[in-house]
Every structure is written in C-alpha cells, then in structure tokens.
Amino acid sequence: MPYSELGQRGDRVQAVVARDVAEFVKFGYEETIPTRVADKTKQFKDILPDMYWEGQKTLKTNAKDECKSTLVGLLGELAFKAKLALGSGSKEYATFRFSGVDRKTDNELVAYSKHVCQTANFFIDKLSTRNVTPELITQTTNATIALDDAIDAQAEAISIREQKSVERLAMGNELYDLIVELCEVGKRIWEHKNEAFYNDYVLYASSKSTTQAEENEEVVEETTNEE
C-alpha cells in the first residue's frame, strides 16, 4: 500500500471505528481505540517524505562538489606557479607531488591539500618570486577546511536520510498492521448484518505489508500530497 494511500486509509478507518466503538469494545478494545488510530495516523503523516531528505542530501552533495572544485582550482594555481618558481625537474618541485589530483577521492584530496600548503610554506621564499603569497596559501588552507566540513555535512545528510526512511517505514508498518487488524474485526462485526458497514472495512489495496510494498518504491514515485 503506497504511503499516500496508507495515510488516507488511516483517516477513514478512524472514522468508522469511532462510529462502531461500542461494537469494538465487545472484542476487548478500549473506548479510546479511535484516538489511538488518529494519533498513529497523524504521526505517520507528519513525517517528512523521503523526497525531502533526498533533496537535503543533494544540496549537501552539490555544496561539497563546489568546495572541491574551488580547492582543485587553487591547487592548480599553486602547482603552475611552483613549476615556474622551482622548475618542473627540481627536487623541490617533486616534493609537492603535483600529479593525479583529479583521481583523488574527496578525503584523499583534503589530506593532499594539507601537504601542499605545508610544503608551500616551507618554500615560500622561492615561491614568492612567482607571486605565491601567504594569502594564497591561506586561501587554499581555508578551502581545504571548507571541503572537509562539506564532506562531513554530506555524510550526515546521507545518514539522516537513511534514518528517517527507516523511521517512516517502521511507523507505516505499525499503522498498516493496526488498520488490517481493525478491518478484520470490523468485517466480523457487520458480516451478514450490514453490507454498507461491512464494506467500510474492506481493504481494496494490496494486502502486502508496507515493508514489502515500499522496499521496491523509488523516491521519485512519492507524491507531494502524501505528507
């Protein structure tokens, strides 16, 4: 049963159970059972959809990519100026290890950039002849810190998205199970007595649990009216 349908089904079952609460009491339910259904339905519907958390993750990823692009540009400037100042064949230039920047992972790039900044500070006198200034090194250091922070922010966004998805799935299953149980009792109450009331408790959607139904559902298939 899709998330959007589950929320609406919860509202409907709450209404008919409230109407028939006296009958449900005969089956051992508390008179507050309609309130219980209403609360669980509201809690489920109040959870932000996966699309929201996926969007937050995308924003953090984009921000990380921008930080990475900025840092790669600064490292490229340092590399070119260092080659002019030190000579591409010099031992001093070789200590920077200016190669394979584009192939480095995000975390590798952070560690590598720290090495470059420290090495540039060591050779600052020679590099200054090609306008490698303390300000440029500081700018690169700050860009390194920004990327490091952006990597952490992206990882947190991914973790939160997964956590919220699991929470929503668990609450959905709990609500679904309660609805199924109450509908079974409701059909039992009105079977051969009142066809209209009996039909109020018939679940027309798939009888699979929310877990089974939603495991294969892509985030893009959720609709904005399911909140």
Nearest to 226 by CA among 180, 173, 168, 149: 168
Q: What is the pLDDT of residues 199-218, one digit of tens each?
A: 999 986 443 444 443 433 33
Q: What is the pLDDT of residues 7-65, one digit of tens each?
A: 999 999 999 999 999 999 999 999 999 999 999 999 999 988 889 999 999 999 999 99
Distance between CA atoms of 52 and 220, rounded to whole angstroms? 11
6 burial via Cβ count (<10 Å: 0-12, 13-18, 19+):
buried
Distance between CA atoms of 27 and 76, rounded to whole angstroms? 75
